Chains A and B, each alone.
Chain A
Amino acid sequence: DTGVSQNPRHKITKRGQNVTFRCDPISEHNRLYWYRQTLGQGPEFLTYFQNEAQLEKSRLLSDRFSAERPKGSFSTLEIQRTEQGDSAMYLCASSLVGGEAFFGQGTRLTVV
């Protein structure tokens, strides 16, 4: 499968723990996006990279969230000191500049 891959698919964690998600984009895509989606809502933009540079980060994103794309290929999204309000589906998408975005299946986070 040469699409966007996200791991893990599901994560259950206790409040206060740190979690890290991984996204492997389509190999030739230089843009990579992270979104958070809750039930009945649209994908909420978190951040995006062009190659290894993080070009934009949502003002809604607290300091507990950080993302990296160290070699311009895969990306990680870390949430520190998780809260129950962080429970959501975390979606990753990749694209060429100006092109259509391809989404992964998402990582469903449940904070208990």
Chain B
Amino acid sequence: GQQVMQIPQYQHVQEGEDFTTYCNSSTTLSNIQWYKQRPGGHPVFLIQLVKSGEVKKQKRLTFQFGEAKKNSSLHITATQTTDVGTYFCAGPGLIFGKGTKLSVKP
């Protein structure tokens, strides 16, 4: 499997602020998936990106896949307390990054 690195490890934001997490690979990825894990829960699938330069939106969440297919990002606009959790990217073979833990202060 191909390893992916995520930054930052932690992000603390005030409710209403934006949040971005980045996922990077040293090799080209055929696809990338994003998952969210709530505290005490298990990872839940958010989205899969396959095409170079792909951008997908889910309400306040925007996912991007880089042109070189070596990096990806997840951006949340105007965070809410329900966004709290750890966001993971996973490369082919479902190899997970270490995740970005998001906390939101009301």
Q: Which residues of A contact B (CB under 8 A)?
A: 33, 35, 40-45, 48, 56, 91, 93, 95, 98-106
Question: Given the complex, which residues of A lie within 8 Å of B45, measured CB to CB?
Answer: 100-102
With A40-B101, A43-B43, A100-B48 given, name 19 new contacts (CB 8 A): A41-B99, A42-B86, A42-B99, A43-B88, A45-B93, A45-B95, A45-B96, A48-B94, A56-B1, A91-B42, A93-B43, A100-B33, A101-B45, A101-B90, A101-B94, A102-B45, A103-B42, A103-B43, A105-B42
Quick check: is B75 within 8 A (CB to CB) of the other chain? Answer: no
Cβ B97 vs Cβ A42 within 8 A: yes
Question: Given the complex, which residues of B lie within 8 Å of A33, measured CB to CB?
Answer: 94
Bitwise, B16-50 to A at CB < 8 A (1) or not (0) is 00000000000000010101000000111100100
Question: Given the complex, which residues of A lie within 8 Å of B101, measured CB to CB?
Answer: 40
Q: Which residues of B contact A (CB under 8 A)?
A: 1, 31, 33, 35, 42-45, 48, 86, 88, 90, 93-99, 101
